[in-house]
Structure 1
Amino acid sequence: MAESSLFARIVALVGGAAVAIRHAGDGPKPHAFGTAPSIPDAKPQGKIPTLKMPTAKGWEGNHMPTPAAGLKVNAFARKLVHPRNMHVLPNGDVLVAESMGEEGSGPRSLFDHAMHATMKRARAAGKSPNRVTLLRDADGDGVAEQSHAYIENVRQPFGIVLIGDTLYVGASDAVLAYPYVEGETRITTPGKKLMDLIPGGHWTRNLIASKDGTKLYVAVGSLSNIGDHGMAAEENRACIHELDLTTGQSRVFAGGLRNPVGMAWEPTTGQLWTVVNERDGLGDETPPDYLTSVVDGGFYGWPYCYWNRIVDDRVPQDAAKVASALQPDYALGGHTASLGLCWLPEGTLPGFPAGMAIGQHGSWNRSKLSGYKLAFVEFKDGKPVGMPREILSNFLSPDENYSYGRPVGVALAKDGAVLMADDVGDVIWRVTGA
């Protein structure tokens, strides 16, 4: 394709609504879901993969996402700035990480230019707020009437965990510790650095504490799609670290996880679970993003292979790594960008059994968009079963040109309501029984 022709197509993408630079070529495929998904053969898209993302519009007037039957939704807090993840404090206050992808040093190619412009249009990149905000619903009516800048000037905060009187924050470049005093609405003490992290690439750094509070698990995504800059650049990335809070030492707990973000404990088995964003450029449904238990010392395939040790021919291979790769537990469909994860006990929402709630941020790299919902996966005997269900939906316009919102983090409020961060709508949604 001539460069002038390519540039014309890029201009059309940047100036219009969601337009694909290149489609998968074989039309829509059934979604790859569940414990035994049907995954189409890979169809590498070359240097110009599908690029399609709706323009960020936000919610206007009384417009809001659609809850499943038997549920209702209200705005717990509005007028935030790109809220991504949450942590509920013992007194019911809700901490919200406000952050976004950094703009970077500028495009390096025509496709990079298109990607950069598209991400800005979709409000997926720009000037990061770099703030943790405290929300307080003092009168218990399900709406936070107080909002306070709790911690400021943290590089792309995401993960937040309170253990005792110490608050831990996962920034893109470090794990930080702050002194916590219940009821206070601001922390001005500088964070103590516990662990250095390398920013860039997949930048979210989620945190979850061990049940005994002695360790933190730190999710770190890859720098690139498939080790594009060599595996030396991916050292200590595409993995979940275990940070010992007593000794200060860390180790890789599990690897081969391209971009693990949400983490949650399953109470029946005590197992750690995560949701992972898989690689791009192989087709609409290939490979699926996934929900999986995380085994100590486990390797999950990236970048050499995916799902049931299916080799990615674009990557220089390591046969031993492929042979050791564990198959994930549950496929979530291709490119759903599943980011949030929260265990919902039985009875949390009417009509929903025990299971995992999953904030699906939504795709940008497939011909028919996927994700853009708060999904639910039922668990029985410690394992996922059945097909995903929707808790909240209709975050997209019917023509897929606009996104009203994009789901991210999920948390349980002190009163048992389900909270979900929406970084395009700048809202925290609250879901309860109708």
Structure 2
Amino acid sequence: MLASRFGAAAVAIMCAASAPAFADDTLKKLGQFQSTGAPGEIPQVEQGGKKAENLRAIAPKIKVPDGFKVELYAIVPDARHMAVGTNVGVVFVGTRKTKAWAVTDRDGDDVADEVKEFAPSIKKSNPNGMCFTPDGFLYMAEHNRVLLFPAAEFFYESPDVAVEVIAEQLIPKAEESFNHGARACVVGPDDKLYIPLGQPFNVPPKDKLPLYDEQGMSGIIRMDRDGKNREVFALGVRNSVGLAFNPKNGELWFTDNQVDGMGDDIPPGELNRATKAGQNFGFPWYGGGMVRTKEYQGEQPPADAVKPEIEFAAHAADLGMRFYTGEQFPEKYRGGIFVAEHGSWNRKKPVGARIMFVTLKADGSADKAEVFADGWLDDKTGRYLGRPVDVAVALDGSLLVSDDLSGAIWRISYKD
């Protein structure tokens, strides 16, 4: 455990008013943490120069509906999943490398002034997942560990931060793999932490299924905010890297990346809805949608396997997703779902690298999907100008899009 040089008392004053019992327990521990003695300088990312100029030249190539505008918000190396602070709007950004970032727009001009490495004194491994609790606690989901930062948005400018390891191991060490190892996370209305666990195979061998079912690999797990009472919430999920709760009814939605090597146009990517705990979403019997895998063709799939709400283009790599909770966009978009498609890697004609939008019906089920922002993939050359990973709603209602290829965060805004 590490400690902030600002002291436990300051943390307690800022957080105790809204913190639950768990938060109080965590804050009491801060005074026992040991300082890392990290130096005062924090690595920063230059926001100007040729890099910024080249990225700004991409923005006009991104096609969006009338009234919307795409601009460069920040240069953020390897930018992946994002969590937006609710106090001053600091954007915490994960990566699949060894660093995480804190992005700040200090002067309120809708362009980041400062991108600093977040918690550089802590050694990280694939810190992809970032998510906030309603009372301002930040979780970082690494490949095989979960960290909790009780006051990230207040003390992000210190190299020496308060942190607690709440889950030392998500999967058995023998199952660790960079393949399908990027975690996402979200805190549910039940005040539990939800994390999808992708399994490391394209299609897992049958002898692995008992272990994976037990661990929640090829599934989604949940636990108390302090890491206790871990349980498997859903199975039959190949590799989800994006999930969010519908704020209207508390149902969990998530993307899923489906089996490679089955052909250019099969199987589809998925957007799924979990209406209760214990559901199975069909993998590995189904490779995506209702397309059966060769490896499990002769096996009986679960009779109650849940079909996807939306089937996306095959191999478009649907990753981060978010319900639009802002008010800046027109009424059509409020309460709908934005999904980031990273783009294909094993398709003769590439597809994806865009933002999709999904409308919902009155009963809470999906209605239809449409392209919202497109152009990071040059259709003529097949070259990627960027690869969207995640979407997040900024405090002003604009939409932030992370891009790990160009190392950027884009801002999509609307004006009549």
Q: What secondary structure is seen at the aligned counterpart in 2 of 1:237?
A: coil
2:389 paired with 1:408: yes
What is the CA distance between 1:247 and its match in structure 2?
6.7
Distance of 1:88 and 1:237 partners within structure 2 = 28
Q: What secondary structure is seen at the aligned counterpart in 1 of 2:185?
A: strand
Q: Which amino acid aligns with 1:332?
A: F
Aligned to 1:14: none
Q: Which amino acid aligns with 1:224?
A: F
Distance of 1:226 and 1:96 partners within structure 2 = 33
Q: Which amino acid aligns with 1:323?
A: A
Distance of 1:269 and 1:351 partners within structure 2 = 19
1:400–1:191 CA distance, 2 compared to 1 (3 A): farther
What is the CA distance between 1:144 and its match in structure 2?
0.9
Aligned to 2:372: 391
Q: Which amino acid aligns with 1:183?
A: F
Q: Which amino acid aligns with 1:384?
A: A
What is the CA distance between 1:210 and its match in structure 2?
1.4
2:203 paired with 1:223: no
Q: TM-score, normalised by structure 2?
A: 0.77
1:166–1:398 CA distance, 2 compared to 1 (3 A): closer
Distance of 1:247 and 1:98 partners within structure 2 = 20
Aligned to 1:192: 164
**Which one has the bigger helix percentage?**
2
Aligned ranges for residues 295-306 of structure 1 at < 5 Å? 295-306=276-287
Distance of 1:403 and 1:298 partners within structure 2 = 36
Distance of 1:299 and 1:430 partners within structure 2 = 36
**Tell me, which stretches of 5 or more residues in structure 2 are unaligned?**
1-52
After TM superposition, the structure 1 stretch with the greater mean CA deviation from structure 2, 375-384 or 270-279, is 375-384
Aligned ranges for residues 249-398 of structure 1 at < 5 Å? 249-294=229-274, 295-306=276-287, 310-315=291-296, 318-319=299-300, 321-345=301-325, 347-350=327-330, 352-354=332-334, 355-381=336-362, 382-386=364-368, 388-398=369-379
Q: What secondary structure is seen at the aligned counterpart in 2 of 1:257?
A: coil
Q: Which amino acid aligns with 2:91?
A: L
Choose from 139, 151, 170 the match for 2:141: 170
Aligned to 2:124: 154
What is the CA distance between 1:277 and its match in structure 2?
0.5
Q: TM-score, normalised by structure 1?
A: 0.74
Aligned to 1:51: none
Q: What secondary structure is seen at the aligned counterpart in 1 of 2:141?
A: strand
Q: Which amino acid aligns with 1:203?
A: G
1:60–1:160 CA distance, 2 compared to 1 (3 A): closer
Aligned to 1:94: 90
What is the CA distance between 1:265 and its match in structure 2?
1.4
What is the CA distance between 1:97 and its match in structure 2?
3.0
Q: Percent identity?
A: 28
- The answer to whether the Cα contact below 8 Å between 1:304 and 1:317 also exists between their aligned partners in 2 is no
What is the CA distance between 1:366 and its match in structure 2?
1.6
What is the CA distance between 1:92 and its match in structure 2?
3.3
What is the CA distance between 1:59 and its match in structure 2?
4.7
Q: What secondary structure is seen at the aligned counterpart in 2 of 1:231?
A: helix
Aligned to 2:58: 63
Distance of 1:60 and 1:364 partners within structure 2 = 22
What is the CA distance between 1:224 and its match in structure 2?
0.6
**Tell me, which stretches of 5 or more residues in structure 1 are unaligned?**
1-57, 101-127
Aligned to 1:242: 222
What is the CA distance between 1:290 and its match in structure 2?
0.8
Distance of 1:308 and 1:279 partners within structure 2 = 10
Question: In the TM superposition, what whole-angstrom CA distance separates every residue of 1:143-177 from its partner, at most 9, and x where no partner exists?
Answer: 01022211233111122122335321100111111
- The answer to whether the Cα contact below 8 Å between 2:90 and 2:153 also exists between their aligned partners in 1 is no
Distance of 1:182 and 1:132 partners within structure 2 = 14
